[in-house]
Chain A
């Protein structure tokens, strides 16, 4: 049962990543692309968690935490750049 659920979940997350790539390539304006990147790092955290379940190891959670923090910081930095024309004033 767990194998089937893991396969379904992996398929859905990979499809979600493909949709994010579509929005990243098509997205008419800059905030659309930032939103696509924001969703993409969240989905990649989900992919790392699923990989930890698949390989039955807890090694990768620190990398998931790192990706979460740096993704948030990069989203804030790009938004500040578009809002103010500068990141650190």
Chain B
């Protein structure tokens, strides 16, 4: 009996933690001033929040139905793999479109210095230059 009370507390803790992390991530996205700052909230906090929520759901169905279910961890695994990829693509898009940002935000796109620009065209093997 005590075990069930403890498990219920653990599930409730994971649920509230997941909701809080998802809310904090979205609050960061709505509140921060700069696109590169806004990128931080959803990619880290929201992914962690949904991981917590899926752990809570898996524990709940494990307790009530008696056998563990791996499929729900699949969503967590998939989101943990894809979140950095989509964040990287979004950051590349932001750099490509040269969005406005405040001065403290580092990481400008790398620009060529004037003394680095070469004279000759780049040889292209497909067109008989190689």
Point out residues on A near B: beta carbons under 8 Å.
Answer: 1-2, 4-6, 8-13, 15-17, 19-20, 22-23, 28-32, 34-36, 38-39, 42-43, 45-46, 49-50, 52-53, 56, 58, 61, 64-65, 68-69, 72, 75-76, 79-80, 82-83
Chain B contact-residue range equals: 35 or more
Chain A, Cβ-Cβ closest to B78: A68
Q: Are A34 and B90 also in contact (CB < 8 A) when A12-B22, A19-B29, A39-B42 are?
A: yes
5 more A-B residue pairs beyond the given contacts A12-B23, A53-B57, A61-B71, with a C-beta to C-beta distance below 8 A:
A22-B30, A39-B25, A42-B47, A45-B79, A64-B75
Chain B residue nearest to A56 (CB atoms) is B64
Please, how many angstroms separate the alpha-carbon atoms of A10 and B85 in the complex? 28
With A9-B16, A58-B69, A76-B85 known as contacts, the answer to whether A42 contacts B79 (CB < 8 A) is yes
Total A-B Cβ pairs within 8 A: 154
Query: Contacts of A52 on B, CB cut-off 8 Å?
Result: 57
Nearest 3 A/B pairs, CB to CB: A12-B19, A9-B19, A5-B12
Q: Known contacts being A30-B97, A39-B29, is A49 close to B19, with CB within 8 Å?
A: no
At the interface, yes or no: B127 with Cβ under 8 Å from chain A?
no
Contact (Cβ within 8 A) B92 A36: no
Shortest distance from the beta carbon of B62 to any chain A beta carbon, whole Å: 11
Q: Looking at the complex, which one of A2, A10, A13, A82 makes contact with B11 (CB distance below 8 Å)?
A: A2
Could you tell me the distance between the alpha carbons of A36 and B57 in the complex, rounded to whole angstroms?
25
Q: Does A49 contact B57, Cβ atoms closer than 8 Å?
A: yes
CA distance A65 to B89 in the complex (A): 21
A5-B12, A31-B93, A65-B78 given; A39·B46 CB < 8 A: yes
Q: Given A5-B11, A16-B22, are A42 and B42 also a contact pair (CB < 8 Å)? A: yes
> Which residue of A has the minimal Cβ distance to B14?
A5
Chain B, 53-97, CB within 8 A of any chain A CB: 53-54, 56-57, 60-61, 64, 69, 71-72, 74-75, 78-79, 82, 85-86, 89-90, 92-94, 96-97
